[in-house]
Structure 1
Amino acid sequence: MKSGTVSQDYDKNETDGKVGLKRRLGFFDSLSFLVGTIIGAGIFVSPKGVLEYSQLNIGVALCIWAACGVICILCTLCYAELGSSLPFAGGEYYHVRRGLGPIPAFITIWTLTLFIRPSSNAARALTFAEYVSRPFYSGCPPPELLKKSLAIGILLTLGVINSKSIKLATWVQNIFTILKMMALTLIIVYGFIEFATNPDASKPFQDAFNSQFPNAAQTAEAFFQGLYAYGGWNFLNYMAEEIKNPSKNIPRSVITAMCAVIVFYLLVNISYLTVLTPRELISSAAVSVTWADRMIPSWAWIIPVSVAISIFGSLNGGMFMLGRLNYAGSKEGHLPSLISMLHVRHLTPAPAMIISTLIACIFVIPSDLVSLTNYFSFSSWLLVGLTCVSLIVLRFREPNLERPYKVFLPLAFVVVGVSAFLVLAPIIQSPKVQYFYALLFMFSSIIIYIPFVHFKLKIPYFNKITCYLQLLLEVSPTDMFEDSKTE
């Protein structure tokens, strides 16, 4: 690719009639997708994890929440350079391929598309179903069959929305992001009212650091709990191909989104601790619901509804992102060509969305598959580390690449070090055979890569099946742009 021509070349698909994803997402849309994807059920349901592993030390817990946000900001700054200089779909997969080559990229997309992202979407859908059905089964858990049916139903609904209209998917994300931010604002405002009117509310913060301090292992666990709530900070790079003026909007969006999320997370936690004692907080399965029962008992139903809304918006963002990941992998020749085709009228990656939705639905059926996601958590940070290594490699390999935004390079080394710690800590601290299975699954992708990608082995009748599905789905191959290096 010719340096200095990224933005100019790639914006041609807006005007010359070529088949490709269009740049339709402005600053507010990008901000909504990022904030709406990050803020899911975590901040409503499980702040207790950070406080519990912080040994009920309020000061340490709040510092860990802030530190987790700072870590994610450092990561997003690195990703902002990659996204603004290489504004193409695929996120980590595309950047790893560009910097480290096809084999690490194939391992990345194999792990993300076949396990991490679909299982994450399935878990969100099941949590959404839990909160929607719980009011109808007071005092007892909803039936598993009902929850799974609702989860599959919401996955299919969002799959159809994202396949039919990018505009509608964006509208859904914007509306649900606004609604969840209103819910967080409600919690914050009532917390401040309690703080101002109740003299006892400030006592926990006066001696915030007087409790026992956590040891190194407990601190690491607290960080894992906090970083889980910030999950989704890297999603914007997956949709960089559809962002208007990416050189400006990507850095602005990620920095604004992360700063806003950090502030809201800290204020919400302060509101929880203003109303609930630390022991009450860690004994609650759903902190926000307990908070609502205490503060607004006659309107307590608002919080479970808000949690469901929050999960719905986060799930929509996750579905949108996963479709772009599959689309990018197909364009680069690592997935079947059908997946990179776009609907001829709507210009949406319909085949990519369909396959993403079906895989997520499969994960809903056996619940033990979703539970295995915990053992793949380290692999997410492994991919973050590989992505930042790619940034460092590209700085030296392609020094003339146009970089509208450049991160201070030592920060990339810091992120690589943090990623290495977060990869190794759970394995060393609590070694389990499931971690070996996760690594085995990741590297088993080589068995597929060598015959079908490297040697381009053809499956009999596969081309005929592709042609039939292309006609059935009314999709067309995308036009190629000067967006990547070929092997």
Structure 2
Amino acid sequence: MRPPVGAVRAAKAASARTDGRTDGLAAGRTHWAARGAGTRRDSDMVGHTQQPSGRGNPGPAPSPSPGPGPGPGASERVALKKEIGLVSACTIIIGNIIGSGIFISPKGVLEHSGSVGLALFVWILGGGVTALGSLCYAELGVAIPKSGGDYAYVTEIFGGLAGFLLLWSAVLIISASGGPPTHSPFLSVLLTWVNSSSVRWATRIQDIFTGGKLLALSLIIGVGFVQIFQGHFEELTPSNAFDFWMTPSVGHLALAFLQGSFAFSGWNFLNYVTEELVDPRKNLPRAIVISIPLVTFVYTFTNVAYFTAMSPQELLASNAVAVTFGEKLLGYFSWVMPVSVALSTFGGINGYLFTSSRLCFSGAREGHLPSLLAMIHVRHCTPIPALLVCCGATAVIMLVGDTYTLINYVSFINYLCYGVTILGLLVLRWRRPALHRPIKVNLLVPIAYLVFWAFLLVFSFISEPMVCGVGVIIILTGVPVFFLGVFWRSKPKCVHRLTESMTRWGQELCFVVYPQGAPEEEENGPCQPSPLPTRDKPLKTQ
């Protein structure tokens, strides 16, 4: 249950009275310890110390631990900063999507579609369905303005177990959708350092490399139009475009869309950083409305351009479609395509680190991950422990050999989570009809998305029961972890001591503390009681 508002205000007042001589760790401990009913025992979750969770159970705070001394800016509030404007919000969405598979997925979509025309239709349909889902996420994002995206919404609406299972699957496999695997550990380490040092640096890098990717894809599209004007569009004529070399079943179509959806994955990543957006109630929906149509246009016409230079057989035989395209048409300037692939990788990993670290941060704040991950640097105000975890995840992704099997796992679990989240929108409409919603989509939008979602999942199970079964098993393995790590509170004292020692060591190593709440945190927080409580049904809490 959430702590009383009065208790939180009193805690913040006490924290505000702490003078500048108090070191960063002590200030963080004062703030969170004063929340009383809103904290959980350190060892309620394996690897935890005192947890600033709004859903945890009351318990005593651990003994004070030594921490880093005061530094520059110690008198300022230690919290995540709102430094993401509209342009950076758009580049986060575009950069994460384009970095997720445009150089891989054209092959998978075509392979399962059986014809050029049907493959292009899958790309357009993928953009349309993504637009429906993003509109639903825009409503959820402004109604529940919390970082963490799907996880935050599912936890708020369905309770702790459902949220933990979504978080668990994300930690294990969904992070692979953040960008194509790279074989340069140095790149991941470098970008982790940048993201740890400054939010502004990270967003500027995202802006620059997203612009570079769009320029590279614009070059492909421009060359494709030149090819069409010169009459090189044999594969795009109706007779050839729908000349099937195989008859696709409904299951094949479902798999084609799963492959295409991998290239669109990342469209919901801006919802992971809602609390760092400048004016999120305006900029979140604006960024979504700008970015999704733009990416759909770029993807569709990029594939059209590919087919002006390559036959379906050549495209299927290519391991890097954009590079093959450049070698055939750009001549001396063919080096641009490998560079664009590198830009896509660079920007994709940067976007993944920036957004997914906030997912881990949000999970730790709710008490579902080790509390060290809910801490931020006392000067840079960046979630360094969460960033290090995400950097380690990219290293694991590098070890995966079969990329297409990975894409199937990721796409299936992604779509399962998307559907559950959008179903939550309907549940929230029913339970909290009076909740303030700056954006309220027509009910046909989530219903249409869920109908398509159900179709896709059913036929994916029929055509690829092994892949889908493994995806479900991955999610369900989180059930015992939840009951052992989160639900079971009376752990042995040795576990308490171990986790507290590890957290203290992590704090001293990373120079991190719990963030301090903003003065308006409780008054403007998500899902506050409505002026018409008799019409609302309370949300489930864990």
With normalisation by structure 2, the TM-score equals 0.77
Corresponding residue for 2:201?
Answer: 168
- Asked if the contact 1:46–1:286 (Cα under 8 Å) also holds between the matched residues in 2, the reply is no
Question: Is the counterpart of residue 47 in structure 1 residue 84 in structure 2?
Answer: no
Shift of residue 294, structure 1, vs aligned partner: 1.4
Corresponding residue for 2:138?
Answer: 80
CA distance 1:21–1:204, shift in 2 (3 Å): same
The CA distance in 1 between the partners of 2:107 and 2:412, in whole Å, is 21
Question: Is the counterpart of residue 92 in structure 1 residue 150 in structure 2?
Answer: yes
Task: Give 1:29's match in structure 2, choosing from 88, 92, 99.
Answer: 88
Higher normalized helix content (fraction of residues): 1
Question: Is the counterpart of residue 471 in structure 1 residue 476 in structure 2?
Answer: no
Name the Cα RMSD after superposition.
2.5
CA distance 1:204–1:334, shift in 2 (3 Å): closer
Question: Is the counterpart of residue 460 in structure 1 residue 496 in structure 2?
Answer: yes
- Asked if the contact 1:72–1:230 (Cα under 8 Å) also holds between the matched residues in 2, the reply is yes
Task: Give 1:194's match in structure 2, choosing from 227, 246, 251.
Answer: 227
Letter in 1 for 2:108: G
Shift of residue 309, structure 1, vs aligned partner: 0.6
CA distance 1:439–1:222, shift in 2 (3 Å): closer
Letter in 2 for 1:26: G
Letter in 2 for 1:63: F
Task: For residue 233 of structure 2, give the secondary structure of its aligned residue in structure 1.
Answer: helix
- Asked if the contact 1:376–1:435 (Cα under 8 Å) also holds between the matched residues in 2, the reply is no
- Asked if the contact 1:195–1:202 (Cα under 8 Å) also holds between the matched residues in 2, the reply is no
Shift of residue 404, structure 1, vs aligned partner: 0.8
Corresponding residue for 1:361?
Answer: 395
- Asked if the contact 2:100–2:266 (Cα under 8 Å) also holds between the matched residues in 1, the reply is no
The CA distance in 2 between the partners of 1:219 and 1:372, in whole Å, is 18
Identity %: 36
Task: For residue 301 of structure 1, give the secondary structure of its aligned residue in structure 2.
Answer: helix
The CA distance in 2 between the partners of 1:202 and 1:367, in whole Å, is 36
Shift of residue 66, structure 1, vs aligned partner: 0.6
- Asked if the contact 1:363–1:369 (Cα under 8 Å) also holds between the matched residues in 2, the reply is no
Letter in 2 for 1:43: I
Task: For residue 438 of structure 2, give the secondary structure of its aligned residue in structure 1.
Answer: coil
CA distance 1:455–1:410, shift in 2 (3 Å): same
Task: Give 1:449's match in structure 2, choosing from 449, 459, 482.
Answer: 482
The CA distance in 2 between the partners of 1:250 and 1:243, in whole Å, is 8
Q: Find the structure with the greater CA-based Rg.
A: 2
Shift of residue 363, structure 1, vs aligned partner: 4.2
Corresponding residue for 2:305?
Answer: 271
The CA distance in 2 between the partners of 1:93 and 1:42, in whole Å, is 23
Shift of residue 397, structure 1, vs aligned partner: 1.0
- Asked if the contact 1:107–1:442 (Cα under 8 Å) also holds between the matched residues in 2, the reply is yes
Corresponding residue for 1:204?
Answer: 236
The CA distance in 2 between the partners of 1:270 and 1:364, in whole Å, is 31
CA distance 1:120–1:219, shift in 2 (3 Å): closer
- Asked if the contact 1:342–1:477 (Cα under 8 Å) also holds between the matched residues in 2, the reply is yes
Corresponding residue for 2:257?
Answer: 223
CA distance 1:365–1:46, shift in 2 (3 Å): closer
Question: Is the counterpart of residue 397 in structure 1 residue 431 in structure 2?
Answer: yes
Shift of residue 359, structure 1, vs aligned partner: 3.2
Task: For residue 124 of structure 1, give the secondary structure of its aligned residue in structure 2.
Answer: coil
- Asked if the contact 1:31–1:254 (Cα under 8 Å) also holds between the matched residues in 2, the reply is yes
The CA distance in 1 between the partners of 2:476 and 2:100, in whole Å, is 32
Task: For residues 147-199 of structure 1, give each alpha carbon's deviation from its aligned partner in whole angstroms, at most 9, with x where no partner exists.
Answer: xxx2x222222211111111111011000000000001111111112222x23
The CA distance in 2 between the partners of 1:27 and 1:305, in whole Å, is 27
- Asked if the contact 1:164–1:348 (Cα under 8 Å) also holds between the matched residues in 2, the reply is yes
Gaps of 5+ in 2: 3-15, 17-74, 528-540
Task: For residue 382 of structure 2, give the secondary structure of its aligned residue in structure 1.
Answer: coil
Task: For residue 25 of structure 1, give the secondary structure of its aligned residue in structure 2.
Answer: coil
Shift of residue 239, structure 1, vs aligned partner: 0.9
With normalisation by structure 1, the TM-score equals 0.85
Letter in 1 for 2:119: A
CA distance 1:256–1:208, shift in 2 (3 Å): farther
What is the correspondence of 1:59-208 to structure 2 with a 5 Å cutoff? 59-117=117-175, 119-120=176-177, 124-126=180-182, 129=183, 150=184, 152-196=185-229, 198-201=230-233, 204-205=236-237, 207=239
Corresponding residue pairs, total = 447
